[in-house]
Amino acid sequence: DAGITQSPRYKITETGRQVTLMCHQTWSHSYMFWYRQDLGHGLRLIYYSAAADITDKGEVPDGYVVSRSKTENFPLTLESATRSQTSVYFCASTGGGPYTGELFFGEGSRLTVL
């Protein structure tokens, strides 16, 4: 069972380019999340989704767009990448109620914006 997979694992891009990070989970979990991890900040929530076609902003949504047309996929798009978006991005999901269910994380996507 693959669980939750992210692609690409590593990406280098230039300022102003559009980048999409993919997230796919095989459990049919309802809830999915995108976090970014930066030194000194821990993990910060970018966007989350409670179900297909239901998404909402987290702490740091500016510059990012998400969609969720299918339960298993939750892509994150940087419409015009900036250097401040250089980070490690983690996708996560949970199938239980959000108040009790632990999060399952992907392996991360390391993005460098030059």
Candidate ranges 15-23, 28-36, 64-72, 74-82; the one touching other proteins (CB under 8 A): 28-36
Q: Does residue 27 interact with other proteins by CB under 8 A?
A: no
Task: Please tell me whether residue 14 adopts helix, strand or coil conformation.
Answer: coil
Per CB under 8 A, does 95 bind other proteins? no
Cα(31)–Cα(97) distance, integer angstroms: 9
Binding residue for other proteins, selected from 7, 13, 27, 43, defined by CB under 8 A: 43
Among 48, 76, 85, 87, binds other proteins (CB under 8 A): 48
Tokens of residue 101, six digits:
């269910």
Q: Could you give the CA distance from residue 86 to residue 46 in angstroms, rounded to a whole number? A: 14
